[in-house]
Structure 1
């Protein structure tokens, strides 16, 4: 079977690794163009491109795939490259571009998507983050036959994964990435799979995570803030100010106590919220590194009565 692969971040790279380890022929990889990254803002290849280059697989990086769009010339070149790849199926995982109809119809078996949610619970760009933020008890991977809609295609395979009380997006991401790799190999080896139409009820949209969401609103319940901190780790974290200094809060645990939202009510530091309180367990000063609360407090003691403000 000839499998064209389209993906960009590490989540997708894990699936590409699984396909190659399973012995599938991958004649072509599509991934996003190199982007500036790091302090030097140097162009950096995606995780998928790095894996493909290491494996000697040709890589295409069109800026767009619409034949009548802004990047029509890129799309036309990509079409010729895809036709030459002669794919039986395209596997898509966190690619970052919407596939137009001509792409969906090009491979003989169409396009299969590895989606990190129990569809239709979380469609869209950030299903792992939003599942943790919402307090979901479980999530999983859905292998979906892609159609023209946004994560609306028929479901082929589903596997479930419990969301643990201490899961961050980074930790849960790695478990789901491994599950996605295993499940797509299973789907391709199965040949024919039963297609299940997604339920019309229970649809939610997992909006892309924005940096502005890092601002901590201390008037919210402690349980809500704690989930958001785990959902926004490793990006964008939680941000507050303390005596005018910007402080990042990475981890916290539920604690007893009450007071004015943002007020430090006990050593730890324990901070009052709109409902309940949080013991902050991992923090970061501007220009510094993430540190356990004990190490942070050695450099910057926090007294009872001080107040964390919304940044």
Structure 2
């Protein structure tokens, strides 16, 4: 089976590695063009491109797949299957129809919940207790295709966007491995249409969302801190200083203090008054600094220690 893999970020690398390790032949890898990254804004290849080159696989980086030339190049590889994992380009009907077996997508949610760009973070923000991975037959709609395989996974109470990303990435590779193995063996996977009810959309993350509105509940704010680790990282003012908030947890407690005021501070954390409950900050970052514990921060601001 001749397979083309299309993906870009780190999330997709385990799936590419699963395809390489399978009995299919990976004839090409498609990924986004190199983008500026780092302080020097140097053009940097995507994680998928780096993995493909290390494996000696041909790499294609078209700006889009809309042109006739781009589609002809894709067809020239004579793919039986196109596997798409966080590629970043919309595929037209003509592209979807190019491979003999169509196009598969590995999506990090339990469809039809959280279709779209940021299913991992949106699941944490919503307080979901479960997520998973779908192997989906792609069609023209946004994550609307029928599902062939699904694996479920609990979301831990202290889950961050980063930790759930890594666990779902590994789970996606397992699901894809099974799908490719069964297909190479000659089995036709059954594709089940998605339910019409329960559809939600995981809109792309906006850096402006990182600002914590302390009039919200402490529970909602804790979820935001966890969901936005490692990007875009939650932000809040603590006693007049803007900080990035890396870790915090919600605590019960009645108070009549002004929202956002410091209720107390110790080595255990800095307690902020919320619209409902208390948010205890345990790890943070000052402007121009690195991530530190609340205890280290209080060494620089001893005036915050103790109850207020």
Q: After the TM superposition, which residues 1-311 of structure 1 pair with which residues of structure 2 at under 5 Å, given as runs?
A: 1-67=1-67, 76-191=68-183, 192-257=188-253, 258=255, 259-267=257-265, 268-301=269-302, 303=304
* Helix, strand or coil at the partner of 1:26: strand
1:183-215 Cα shifts (integer Å, max 9, x gaps)? 011112222111111000011110001110110
Structure 1 CA distance for aligned equivalents of residues 238 and 114 of structure 2: 35
1:257-300 Cα shifts (integer Å, max 9, x gaps)? 32321111112311111000011011000000111111222223
Once the 2 structures are TM-superposed, how far is the Cα of residue 84 of structure 1 from its aligned partner?
1.7
Once the 2 structures are TM-superposed, how far is the Cα of residue 301 of structure 1 from its aligned partner?
3.4
In 2, are the aligned partners of 1:3 and 1:25 still within 8 Å (CA)? yes
Structure 1 CA distance for aligned equivalents of residues 240 and 216 of structure 2: 21
Structure 2 CA distance for aligned equivalents of residues 302 and 177 of structure 1: 44
After superposition, the Cα gap between the structure-2 partners of 1:248 and 1:117, relative to the gap in structure 1 and judged at 3 Å, is same
1:103-138 Cα shifts (integer Å, max 9, x gaps)? 100000000000000000000000000000100010
* Helix, strand or coil at the partner of 2:43: strand
Unmatched tracts of structure 1, length 5 or more? 68-75
* Helix, strand or coil at the partner of 2:177: helix
Q: TM-score, normalising length from structure 2? A: 0.94
Once the 2 structures are TM-superposed, how far is the Cα of residue 243 of structure 1 from its aligned partner?
4.9
Which sits farther off after the overlay, 103-112 or 257-266?
257-266
Structure 1 CA distance for aligned equivalents of residues 263 and 118 of structure 2: 34
1:20-74 Cα shifts (integer Å, max 9, x gaps)? 122431111111111111111111110100001111111111111223xxxxxxx
Structure 1 CA distance for aligned equivalents of residues 297 and 157 of structure 2: 24
1:206-230 Cα shifts (integer Å, max 9, x gaps)? 0001110110100000000000111
In 2, are the aligned partners of 1:263 and 1:305 still within 8 Å (CA)? no
Once the 2 structures are TM-superposed, how far is the Cα of residue 77 of structure 1 from its aligned partner?
3.1
After superposition, the Cα gap between the structure-2 partners of 1:17 and 1:301, relative to the gap in structure 1 and judged at 3 Å, is farther
In 2, are the aligned partners of 1:7 and 1:48 still within 8 Å (CA)? yes
Once the 2 structures are TM-superposed, how far is the Cα of residue 304 of structure 1 from its aligned partner?
6.1
In 2, are the aligned partners of 1:60 and 1:78 still within 8 Å (CA)? no
Q: TM-score, normalising length from structure 1? A: 0.93
Structure 2 CA distance for aligned equivalents of residues 168 and 77 of structure 1: 42
In 1, are the aligned partners of 2:22 and 2:181 still within 8 Å (CA)? no
Aligned length: 299
After superposition, the Cα gap between the structure-2 partners of 1:270 and 1:242, relative to the gap in structure 1 and judged at 3 Å, is closer
After superposition, the Cα gap between the structure-2 partners of 1:176 and 1:302, relative to the gap in structure 1 and judged at 3 Å, is farther
Structure 2 CA distance for aligned equivalents of residues 263 and 255 of structure 1: 15
Structure 1 CA distance for aligned equivalents of residues 156 and 303 of structure 2: 30
Structure 1 CA distance for aligned equivalents of residues 50 and 109 of structure 2: 26
Structure 2 CA distance for aligned equivalents of residues 244 and 90 of structure 1: 52
Unmatched tracts of structure 2, length 5 or more? none
